[in-house]
Amino acid sequence: MNEAGYHGATLSMGLWNNLVRFLTEGAISVRDLAHAALAPESQIRLQLGCLERWGLITLQADSTDGSPAPARVHRQPGRLLRDGWGSGRGIRSGWGVLLTRKGRKASEVWPPLFGEIERRWRKRFGHGHIAGLSEGLEEIVGQADMEFPLPVLLSKALLAFTLEFDRLSPVPLWLCASTLRVLGKQPAPAAEIPRLTGSSPETSGIGWQIKPYIVVEPHPDGGRGKFVRLSPLGLRAQQLYRELVGEIEKSWESRFGREKIHRLRKALSDLFVARVGDRPLIAEGLVPGEGTMRAGKQAPSLGRRDAGAAARQRMSHLVAQSQMFQRDPAGELPHYPLWDMNRGFGP
């Protein structure tokens, strides 16, 4: 996308797989898009507002309802735009969603990448290794008779595990495997949580969902910044997380066969073991592309004209995090994928 002249943050694989790929055949209503994406309309409206702000889609008012979208002058672009432009506000079920020129370029760039990256993995780790990994995942998700790219198989297996975990735990797996995993009885600086989890500040911050499980304290030496430790409820949730992961893995061994699960587990863990010299092979795919923020290229956040202080701090964080990922992928990468809803739906 940078090479095509669209600089700054770009679409994430999650957003492409779960939303944008349904727009490549032409206009589709918000209602039908939600149905295709297997997502509630409220979530789709929020995502469409972001895509509209980033110039990837345009929304067409439903001509049959007789009530055109209210418009106003938007202060940032200085153009007459629909009221609620760039947000989910005001989007109606019957409105059509259509890719812009920028969105169509993304739809050209994205699809070939899945095959290209899987070919790179087969070359990097060995054809037999990746073929075995795919076969093992197909057996778990029960779709050995269908062709799916490797990331889809990985996602389906993770979702199956997540659904089973979330039925048994009052705290969702994404929260247990992220912030609750890295905290303990002793207070830790809140600012260190993104580094400890391998996530972004936006996805690992102290939000309402984690507040029952933590205690927030002032700096012990009277300095700036907050410290966080697990509450008694958080400590119980952390212990339950560790127990349930082991129990579900054993139940999968009974369901699918102990040998199959061990073989799949080894195929996954071996991705982090293979090395060339002292460098993990998987780190080759973690080197940021030239001209991106993770490579140190300053760019404004999506929907903004210039880069402010927050964007510069964000870039510094991404560069340092990417370097840690490359040095020690097994130790630094997140244990569960979390997607930031404000910056291209990226990790």
Q: What is the DSSP string of 192-248?
A: GHHHHHTS-TTTSS--TTTGGGEEEEE-TTS-SSEEEEE-HHHHHHHHHHHHHHHHH
Strands (E), the chain: 28-29, 57-60, 71-73, 80-82, 96-99, 188-189, 214-218, 226-230, 275-276, 279-280
Per-residue pLDDT of the chain (347 residues; tens, 9 = 90+): 878 888 655 678 888 999 999 999 999 999 999 999 999 999 999 999 989 988 899 998 876 655 666 666 666 556 678 888 888 998 999 999 999 999 999 999 989 999 999 999 999 999 999 999 999 999 999 865 667 999 999 999 999 999 999 999 999 999 999 999 999 999 999 999 999 999 888 888 778 789 999 999 998 887 888 999 999 999 999 999 999 999 999 999 999 999 999 999 999 999 999 998 889 999 999 998 887 778 887 766 555 566 677 778 888 888 999 999 999 999 999 999 887 765 555 55
Pairwise CA distance, residues 322 & 48, whole Å: 29
Pairwise CA distance, residues 196 & 331, whole Å: 9
Q: Which CATH number fits the domain 171-265, given the four candidates 3.65.10.10, 1.10.390.10, 3.40.50.150, 1.10.10.10?
A: 1.10.10.10
Please tell me the CATH code under which domain 13-109 is placed. 1.10.10.10
If you count them, how many residues does the chain have? Answer: 347
* Domain segments of the chain as ranges: 13-109, 171-265, 290-347
What is the pLDDT, as a whole number, of residue 1?
81
Distance of CA 345 to the CA centre of its chain: 6
